[in-house]
Chains A and B, each alone.
Chain A
Amino acid sequence: MAEAAATIEPPAIAPVVSMRRIEHRFSSGFELSVREWDVASGAHTACIGPSGCGKTTLLRLMAGIIEPTTGSVELLGEQLSRLSSGQRRSLRLGRVGMVFQQLALLEHLSALDNILLPRLVAGGASHPDRERAQELAEATGIGLALKRKPARLSQGERQRVAICRSLVTSPELVVCDEPTGNLDPARSRSVVELLIAEADRIGATVVLVTHDHGLLDLFDRVLDLGPASGSANVAANGGQS
């Protein structure tokens, strides 16, 4: 069983994510337990831990994609347990950006349409949305690849498309699940730097799951879900146990 116990530093303003007494059990027997965890607004938090320790589950609980067996999650000031499934989806679509482990780009869409996907499923992409997508693409260096489909993009370009998609709605929280999993360390670093830089530009909070310890210096908070510590902690940068 993985356990995350928090050392609370009282946030100056209301936390973006607040998890209390979370217990989540899968039918496979796997359990994730989070006693108390807050993510401060504007913080860059990394979640580390070995494969299967529950990092992805933690992110999915945080984003309201799955509901905990017990406990409460407050996301962007909303108590998720009080929201219907539709309301949780709506909250996610408008205020949370997501980068998935396998990037999850839609192969039949161009890079531009992939970036605009949250807008498209919300009803349609306006001209300002397209301008915003273009701007993000330029900033991340894929401005010339927007018409190409994912099959014709390099892995690095695909990563950038996924990052742009997570930011196109100017979300308050960006949740990333090992977005650099397939990249070499140098490339991983540049992608995460880019993500943090773009998130900072819009003032978004970043929570990123990674198993790459070399990236942790880019974050000001680290949540270690590793079993070695006996209990995981949120610590200041460089102080993870």
Chain B
Amino acid sequence: MSGLMRLVLLHAAHHWVRTLLLAAAASVALALPIAGRFVVDRFETDLRERAQTVPLVVGAAGSRFDLVFTSLHFRMGAKGTIELGEADKIVRDRSEGVIRAIPMHVRFTARGEPIAAVGFEYFAQRELIASTGRLPAGLTEVSLGARAAGRLGLGVGDELPSDQRTTLDITAPSSIVLRVVGVLQESGSPDDDAVFTELSTAWLLEGISHGHAEAETITDPSSVLGRSGDAVALSGAVPTAQRVTDANAGSFHLHAERSELPITAVLVYPPSEKAATILAARYNARPGTQAVRPERVVDELVSFVIRLRAVFDAIAMLLGATTAALIALIASLSVRIREDELRTLADIGASRRAVAVVALGELLVVGMIAASLAAVEVAVLAMLASTLVSMV
């Protein structure tokens, strides 16, 4: 090591707190824009990859962004529903070839995690398999996405109460106890963050289906609105089961025609671009429904994010310039404080270059530490990019 570098390092080591603080500040200024880019790029890639997996989504009219993000990322955005019959109609229409349509209902949560009630074909389409246990097949059975299972700390055999939609409306369906029958293998997609169940569970959570004691056995007059022959009209005050057991499983029933049951979306896999175009046109022309191509919606969103990124880049550059100016100010103050020391060096005969190296070497050391710290920060943030994106 050269003598000058030794002098520089010894000075930096002597003032290690100041050196580290400066380096840390500089590293953040360096790392933030780069890490920000990583995260945004990852966000964009994840969005695009996910969008490419579904050619068309049919749902209730409203925000196309909400429809796509509810259906593909299980974000609780879409409010409206369409009828299950629409999925059947799409499948039955063979004019352009065989169309696969997967109904889904994403409206509820369990301990904050989204409940994705899906047609059973969903698992095959997404190639989701259980790492432990099995896929959900019965009422109130759920299989947890890998990350959701980790967050909830639950496994096969555990119970998970659904979140009560409101505590103010006593007529609203109460919380239902869900039974964990499986944990899915990690897929590196939003599926890892969902609680999967079959559609009938969603309708139970909606209050469209429920289980209660046999109507004929209910004698409480406040629970019976009227009787007509064998038919008994029960009031909403009849207590309903919150948990499906072997004993009461048979008592669960629907209060609607199957085709009229609500779903939030249908994931559609048309055989051709032409079939997709025809379907999209049909549903977009019909009042109350819409059909969107997730890729286009994501393109639209990404173009907005890119515009936003330019703003963030400008802010990051401003932050970097401010940090650089502050460091330059601190360095100049440091040189002033070290005036006597530097004069001593000059007096004993150190060259101007040597004095400059000693004076500014601190910046070099700070820069080197800052660059190393920034590299670590960027690497860590790049590793966490998926997690950060999943939190967005």
Contacts and interface: CB of A to CB of B under 8 A. Distances in A.
Contacts of B354: 121-122
B341 A120 contact: no
Nearest to B358: A121
B347 A65 contact: yes
A109 to B, nearest CB: 6
A93 B348 contact: yes
Given A123-B3, A125-B3, A90 B14 contact: no
B251 interface: no
A215 to B, nearest CB: 23
Contacts of A108: 10-11, 13-15
Interface string B343-377: 01111111110100010000000000000000000
B305 interface: no
Contact of A104 (B344, B349, B350, B358): B344
A120 B3 contact: yes
B7 interface: yes
A93 B349 contact: yes
Most chain B CB neighbours (cut-off 10 Å) among A89, A107, A108, A121:
A121
Contact of A92 (B4, B348, B358): B348
B7 A109 contact: yes
B94 interface: no
A121 B7 contact: yes
Interface in B1-21: 1-4, 6-7, 10-11, 13-15
A121 to B, nearest CB: 4
A90 B354 CA distance: 12
Contact of B7 (A86, A93, A120): A120
Contacts of A63: 347
A120 B4 contact: yes
Interface in A79-109: 85-86, 89-94, 96, 98, 100, 102, 104, 106-109
Interface string A164-204: 01000000000000000000000000000000000000000
A123 B354 CA distance: 9
Nearest to A113: B10
B11 A123 contact: no
B14 A107 contact: yes
B340 interface: yes
Contacts, number: 77
Interface string A109-150: 100010011111111110000000000000000000000000
A89 B349 contact: yes
Interface residues of A, number: 31
A21 to B, nearest CB: 25
Contacts of A106: 341, 344
B351 A98 contact: no
Contact of B349 (A94, A107, A116, A165): A94
A107 B358 CA distance: 14
B261 to A, nearest CB: 77
Contact of A100 (B3, B347, B350): B347
Contacts of A123: 2-4
A109 B10 contact: yes
A123 to B, nearest CB: 5
A118 B10 CA distance: 16
A124 B13 CA distance: 19
Interface string B29-67: 000000000000000000000000000000000000000
Contact of B3 (A85, A92, A96, A122): A122
Contacts of A165: 348
A117 B347 CA distance: 12
Interface string B184-208: 0000000000000000000000000
Interface string A54-97: 00000000010100000000000000000001100111111010
A90 B14 CA distance: 28
Nearest to B340: A104
19 contacts: A86-B351, A89-B350, A90-B351, A92-B347, A92-B349, A93-B348, A93-B349, A96-B349, A98-B348, A104-B340, A107-B14, A121-B348, A121-B349, A121-B351, A122-B349, A122-B350, A123-B2, A124-B1, A165-B348
Given A92-B349, A122-B3, A124-B3, 8 more contacts: A65-B346, A94-B349, A98-B348, A100-B347, A104-B347, A113-B7, A121-B358, A122-B350
Interface of A: 63, 65, 85-86, 89-94, 96, 98, 100, 102, 104, 106-109, 113, 116-125, 165
Nearest 7 CB-CB pairings of A with B = A93-B349, A120-B3, A108-B14, A92-B349, A121-B350, A124-B3, A104-B344
